[in-house]
Amino acid sequence: MCGIVGYIGYGNAGDIIIEGLKKLEYRGYDSSGIAVIKDGKIEVRKQKGRISNLETAVENEHFNSTVGIGHTRWATHGAPSDANAHPHISMDKTIAIVHNGIIENYTELREWLTKDLGVIFTSETDSEVIAHLISLYYDGSLEDAVYKAVEKMRGAYGIGVLCSKEPDKIVAVRKDSPLIIGLGDGCNFIASDIPALLKHVRSIYLIENNETVVLTRNEVKIYNADRKEVKRDVFHVTWDEDAAEKDGFDHFMLKEIHEQPKGLFETLNRRLDKNGNILLDGISMTKQDLEKFDRVYIVACGTAYHAGMVGKFIIERFAKIPVEVDVASEFRYRDPFIDDKTLFIAISQSGETLDTLAALREAKKKGARILSVVNVVGSSVARESDDVFYTWAGPEIAVASTKAYTTQLMCMYLIALYVGYTKGVLAPDLYNEYIRELKFIPDKLKTLLKTEGDILEAAKGLYKKEQVFFIGRGPDASVSLEGSLKLKEISYINSFAIAAGELKHGTIALIEQGSLVIALATQDRLFEKMLSNIQEVKARGAYVIGLAKEGNKEIEKQADKVFYIPDCPDDLTPLLSVVPLQLLAYEIAKLRGCDIDKPKNLAKSVTVE
């Protein structure tokens, strides 16, 4: 959450920073701001709302400076406003900071600074204490002041700092919040994510926890918590800059929905040898390692958690190991049964999700083997794991995740098949059959995407609904949760998902004349039971949209409208069935006039609790 960009070089810092902030607006878009050093003074401009507001505010001011920091905000402490926007500046106007994260002890720090030292605060944010602390400790060395300030703070943060008394440097600090350094020719950058820098640099440093970085135009030095300089290998970004553009689609979300066949193809085929067997690059577990595990924990948040729920079904089905799925924010605060016989799978699109990262660290302390499924190479989750399984979704910009989810599912299938086959609990003919069926999925998905027009027509009659129910059984119940989340994320409709068998245990009391129910019925062995559930809600006046495999026409006698997915084994339907739900959510949100790529109150990478 929140985006940071900093620049020091010979170019126009204002233009470069605002350009970079635009690439990070998916991380926060409540307000934005920029600070530069000009004529020996710090100049700050801040605006509530989108970055375009800031751009308009400064377009005639010509920030002719070569050093600056900028920020796009997702509000935590204090409502979105000009005053609460970053950068924040010290009382003597010599220190400016941008901050991503939360200062957990900011209340006591604020009281101390106010009552004992007479500091006057101009915002409601926790972040402002950082500027005042650094100013308090400044005695000729910005690095010293930053170290002393950090010693006073508890929480998670990525911080960029300017000082008017040392105009030829930027100091940055990282603790539990992503931070990267871009390495240019006669210029250097800080940022919270790679897209901000793609236009200018491809060589970066990935900053580790509790490290401080000092940047000048021609040099970058990294120091650990003991203030010892550390060396870091350069990471070379291979993304095409165009991958972070809309490419003719109205929204990033729609583009990313259509990129799913490619993402699934890449995620699968990069892991198959010439004989079609699974080779898991980045995973070094032997048969002996796998046989040692007596349980699996899958821990994630949001959409990744829903992928984990499907993963539980698949791993138990193919690998015959008991699996528990937990929300990362809850996992951290109980005492789970984890030891060296536990395989802990962390799923995260960004690899920076704070709750997931903290849960991973807790499991590691208890001796678990850590396997992460992430999309971002070199991310914190990836670096702190024993084994890493990268999805090949490519950059995902829309806040509502789509292609990251389906590629996470593909990873779950490959892990389950690999573990089951390697352990000898999955028969070779079944193993080969499922790999063959997985190879068909990308093309089947391309065919499915051609039904987009039918989904739009259905959406025209549904977009004014204010309450929707999703139901399903088996894997469909897990996919229902993801379909419901997509709808509520981008359309703001009150959406609710439940296992269909649970309807009679309370939820059916909410069904009334005209209620919209989306019923997933893609499981052949549960098809008749789902028809009965559809009858139950129809009897109470519901309007039902069914989702079934091609050929299961019996559902048309019960549902008011039916979408079909290409035929495939029951176990693989989640890779297809979620896509009509993504498209339906998109079309409904578009008809409602919602800001689809940047839904209110949400941000792409959740780096705070």
pLDDT at 196: 87
2 is catalytic: yes
Q: Please state which CATH class domain 452-591 belongs to.
A: alpha beta
Per-residue pLDDT band at 50 (split at 50, 70, 90): confident
Task: Return the closest-CA partner of residue 220 out of 586, 212, 100.
Answer: 212
Matching CATH number, 3-243, of 3.40.50.300, 3.10.129.10, 3.60.20.10, 1.10.260.40: 3.60.20.10
pLDDT in tens, 134-183: 999 999 999 999 999 999 999 889 999 999 999 999 999 999 888 999 99
CB-CB contact of 57 with 33 (8 Å): no
Which is it for the CA torsion 472, 476, 478, 484, positive or negative?
negative
**310-368 confidence digits (pLDDT tens):** 999 999 999 999 999 999 999 988 888 999 999 999 999 888 888 999 999 999 999 99
Residue 198 has pLDDT above 70, yes or no: yes
Q: What is the pLDDT of residue 51?
A: 84
Element (H, E) at 495: strand 494-499
The arithmetic mean of pLDDT across residues 474-485, rounded, is 97
Of the given ranges (62-71, 528-537, 599-608), which has the lowest mean pLDDT?
Answer: 599-608
pLDDT digit string (tens) for 290-301?
999 999 999 999
How many Å from the N-terminal Cα to the C-terminal Cα in the chain? 11
Confidence of residue 488 (pLDDT cuts 50, 70, 90): very high
Q: Which one from 2, 301, 411, 594 is the annotated catalytic residue? A: 2
State yes or no: pLDDT of 602 exceeds 80: no
| Contact between residue 239 and residue 194 where contact means Cβ atoms under 8 Å apart | yes
State how far the Cα of 474 lies from the Cα of 325, in Å rounded to an integer.
Answer: 15
Q: What is the mean pLDDT of the chain?
A: 92
pLDDT band at 240 (very low <50, low <70, confident <90, very high): low
Position 284 scores a pLDDT of: 84
Give the model confidence (pLDDT) of 94-115 as tens digits: 999 999 988 999 999 999 999 9
What CATH number does domain 246-448 carry, 3.30.70.80, 3.10.150.10, 3.40.50.10490, 3.40.190.10? Answer: 3.40.50.10490
Give the distance from CA 521 to its chain's centroid: 29
Q: What is the SS3 assignment for 99?
A: strand
- Mean predicted confidence (pLDDT) in 57-77: 83
Q: Would 3-243 and 452-591 be classified into the same CATH topology? A: no
Higher pLDDT, 531 or 239: 531
Is 594 a catalytic site residue?
A: no
| Res 603: pLDDT | 66
Q: What is the DSSP letter of 478?
A: H
Q: Phi and psi for 538 in degrees, rounded to 5?
A: -65, -40
Residue 479: per-residue pLDDT: 97
pLDDT digits (tens, 9 = 90+) for 558-586: 999 999 999 999 999 999 999 999 999 99
Percent of the chain whose predicted confidence (pLDDT) is above 90: 77
Residues 6+ apart with CB under 8 A from 278: 271, 272, 414, 417, 418, 421, 435
Confidence of residue 23 (pLDDT cuts 50, 70, 90): confident
486, 488, 598, 604: the catalytic one is 604
| Contact yes or no for 85/71 (Cβ under 8 A) | yes
Domain range summary for the chain, segments of one domain joined by +: 3-243, 246-448, 452-591
Please say if the pLDDT value at position 386 is more than 60.
yes
What is the rounded average pLDDT of the residues 436-447? 97
Q: What is the dihedral of CA 197, 201, 202, 205, to 10 degrees?
A: -80
Full-model pTM: 0.83
Give strand ranges (E) for 227-333: 229-230, 235-236, 295-300, 323-327
What residues form DSSP beta bridges with 214? 171, 221
